A and B are shown apart, each in its own frame.
Chain A
Amino acid sequence: MSGTFVGMPSFPTAARGALADETLRGNLRYATHTIRDKRAKAVAELDDWALLREAGKQIKDHTLRNLDRYLLQLEEAVTAAGGVVHWAADADEANRIVADLVKATGESEVVKVKSMATQEIGLNEALAAEGISAYETDLAELIVQLGDDRPSHILVPAIHRNRGEIRTIFASEMGKWGRAAPDGLSDAPGELAEAARLHLREKFLRAKVGISGANFMVAETGTLAVFESEGNGRMCLTLPETLISVVGIEKVVPTWRDLEVFLQTLPRSSTAERMNPYTTMWTGTTDGDGPSAFHLVLLDNGRTATLADETGRQALRCIRCSACLNVCPVYERAGGHAYGSVYPGPIGAILSPQLRGTGSEIDASLPYASSLCGACYEVCPVAIDIPEVLVHLRDRVAHQGGRGHFLERAAIKAAGWVFEHPGVLAAGERAATATRKLHPSRVPGAGAWTNSRDLPPMPPESFRDWWRRNRSQGAAPAGGRKDDGS
């Protein structure tokens, strides 16, 4: 995945800074709560939501089970409609393909629609290294790019910025990239959107190459779909002469009709709208309307490895709506950057370690970046059981070893021995209750886990001693609870 995140510290380390940043926490709390309530309302409008959710899950599972067949069908349909299909096993290959395609047009700048796949592969950095400027045109992406920042949310990459911060970035940075922000720009969202409109319009009107991802690809027709709000997607997808779309192989669905499910579930889960303002669907090229050259780059980059995991493969059902981020208590407090990936939040915690493997510190820590409360599963429009996959990945991380896991195994082994020797257990319990006044409130020395947890208070007597004293002769004394220590 992206070089941007190489060398990220573990999740708890990265989260510490975010937790101390009160502006950031305030921004996130406000934004996630706003969208959470709106989403619940949008979903409640459809009394068959549960059936749509089930259908979405079934479509994705069926596609993944037969992915080879549907990819070949898609390739055939796109090719027949005038497109060219490329296959990229990893990020480097995808970047190479795109850079060569852009160079072949003779252009040195491209306009981009927000796309998770191109962020994942670090396309902008790869193009810059080849002397090609990639302009992000989604408002939030623009805020991130102008602020030399990293995305922190799937849908709204600049969710960590409030309107005042956005105003400052626009006022100081826009002029360096093109048309400057108007003088006296205020922090009213309408004015900020207007500044972006003016700044980007000149880029749209002269763009010769557009780069996008896609939300869905239809195998039977070769149709691609991009869901968006602002119209920057339409600009990038229809005005340039050449369009290059980089899409993960799991984005294919078998039939045109399958879109009717996701057209209902994605907007309501994502922006909490009945429908997003604009969706563009195109099939290859159309004479005289839109780009005359269309290239589709199909991206693996860890997806087939994820597909091989029986429990983990359900993460590939994800339609990138970001509802799981918006309800997650951990995301709300830690923010997106701590996840060390373009995929933050609960879905990121199961996707990144599978796409990238659990070798790095950040990826080995992500399966633990959750309280397993299950809110993410509840809201997921394709019913990904994120807690199940988190636990599964914790198991994988535990088996690969490391110091923390060595201590955990030693502790479990010792506990097992004690439980097998009742005399030792009883002696231990009496020693513990006899010394209860001396116990510290926290156990020192075992690192982050104990630092953030209180030691439970010790009762004056163990349950087994109480039982023996009160119930041993088969008589249940009246008021037997009187000295239970509670």
Chain B
Amino acid sequence: MSPASPSRDRILARVRAAVDGAPEAPGPARTYRDTHTPEDGRVDLLAENLADYRALVHRSDEAGLPALVARLLAEHGSGSVAVPPGLPEPWLAGTDVTRVPDAPGTTAAELDAVDSVVTGCAVAIAETGTIVLDAGPDQGRRRITLVPDHHICVVRAPEQVVGGVPQAMPRLDPTRPLTWISGPSATSDIELDRVEGVHGPRTLEVILVEG
């Protein structure tokens, strides 16, 4: 319940008085496109746009995935990896780095000592080079993809890949915590030039798993 407040009634009364007699304004005519990309071009466009914003993109099939994940962790020099509770077993089957399970009690400081994190995603958007996490079982709590400096995200292509943003909306449940990720952490704050790598993971690797 909201705390009782005279300002609530005052603001609402002011709003009503302000628009009193104004003509009704219709809702949006959604004449814009829901995608700009033909269906068979989506996975390639996703790869291209992710790479354009400095994500490292890899392609694999289901069978090659464990070895690829193991190689990426090794190349990054990772000794530990945060693991969402529902991450498919085989994804980490090729590596013996220390697993740090995503648990309610894990503190941010503890995660700061973890090198990498491996997750799935809820949906990926080709036209914007975006992966969206919804804290599902293969993604875990938001902080595990935030504090470690290296994020490996597995996208099932083409099932999880949509063309444009409007196609992603019905696939997402807004009551879940959502994180939209388009490339690694970056800033434009110095002379309006984009520089990668501030507070979020400075290395984002996306594996497109096909077939």
Point out residues on A near B: beta carbons under 8 Å. Answer: 27, 30-32, 34-35, 45-48, 51-52, 54-56, 58-59, 61-62, 64-68, 71-72, 75, 79, 81, 84-89, 93, 137-140, 143, 155-156, 158-159, 162-163, 166, 189-190, 192-194, 196-197, 200-201, 204-206, 218, 221, 223, 229-232, 234-235, 238-239, 249, 254, 256-261, 263-264, 267, 271, 273-283, 286, 288-290, 298, 300, 304-305, 307-308, 310, 313
Contact = CB atoms under 8 A, between A and B. Distances in A.
Given A87-B11, A162-B191, A205-B108, A190 B30 contact: no
Interface string B16-39: 111100111111111111001000
Nearest 7 interchain pairs by C-beta: A231-B200, A231-B199, A304-B14, A275-B128, A230-B198, A308-B18, A275-B182
Contact of B188 (A72, A221, A223, A229): A229
Interface in B112-134: 112, 125, 127-130
Nearest to A283: B175
Q: Which of B29, B36, B130 has the largest number of chain A CB atoms within 10 A? A: B130
Contacts of A68: 12, 15-16
B68 to A, nearest CB: 24
Given A156-B188, A156-B192, A235-B146, A277 B175 contact: no
Contact of B199 (A163, A232, A258): A232
Contact of B197 (A190, A259, A308, A310): A190
Given A163-B190, A234-B142, A281 B28 contact: no
Given A189-B195, A223-B174, A280 B179 contact: yes
Interface in B159-191: 164-166, 168-169, 174-191
B25 A304 contact: no
B197 A193 contact: yes
Contact of A51 (B8, B17, B31): B31
A47 B175 CA distance: 32
A261 B28 contact: yes
25 contacts: A45-B36, A47-B36, A48-B33, A58-B26, A68-B12, A68-B16, A84-B2, A139-B189, A205-B109, A223-B174, A229-B185, A231-B198, A258-B28, A263-B128, A267-B128, A271-B188, A274-B53, A275-B180, A277-B186, A278-B180, A278-B185, A290-B143, A304-B11, A304-B14, A304-B17
Given A197-B199, A232-B199, A288-B104, A143 B25 contact: no
B180 A279 contact: yes
B34 to A, nearest CB: 8
Contact of B127 (A143, A273, A274): A274
A366 B127 CA distance: 39
B193 interface: yes
Given A65-B24, A190-B195, A249-B15, 13 more contacts: A31-B192, A45-B36, A48-B31, A68-B15, A137-B199, A139-B190, A229-B186, A231-B185, A231-B198, A238-B142, A260-B169, A277-B184, A305-B18
A99 to B, nearest CB: 15
B165 A230 contact: no
A254 B27 CA distance: 9
B133 to A, nearest CB: 10
Contacts of B109: 205-206
A264 B125 CA distance: 12
User: DSSP class of A's interface residues: helix, strand, loop or mixed?
Assistant: helix
Given A232-B198, A277-B182, A289-B142, A193 B15 contact: no
Contacts of B184: 277
Q: How large is the interface on B (under 10, 10 to 19, 20 to 34, 35 or more residues)?
A: 35 or more
B111 to A, nearest CB: 9
Given A89-B11, A238-B143, A275-B129, A200 B199 contact: yes
A146 to B, nearest CB: 13
Given A58-B28, A65-B19, A193-B195, A230 B11 contact: no
B47 interface: no
Given A68-B15, A273-B182, A229 B174 contact: no
Contacts of A193: 187, 190, 195, 197-198
B9 to A, nearest CB: 9
A163 B5 contact: no
B135 interface: yes
Contacts of A190: 195-197
A264 B5 contact: no
Given A31-B192, A54-B29, A189-B190, A218 B24 contact: no
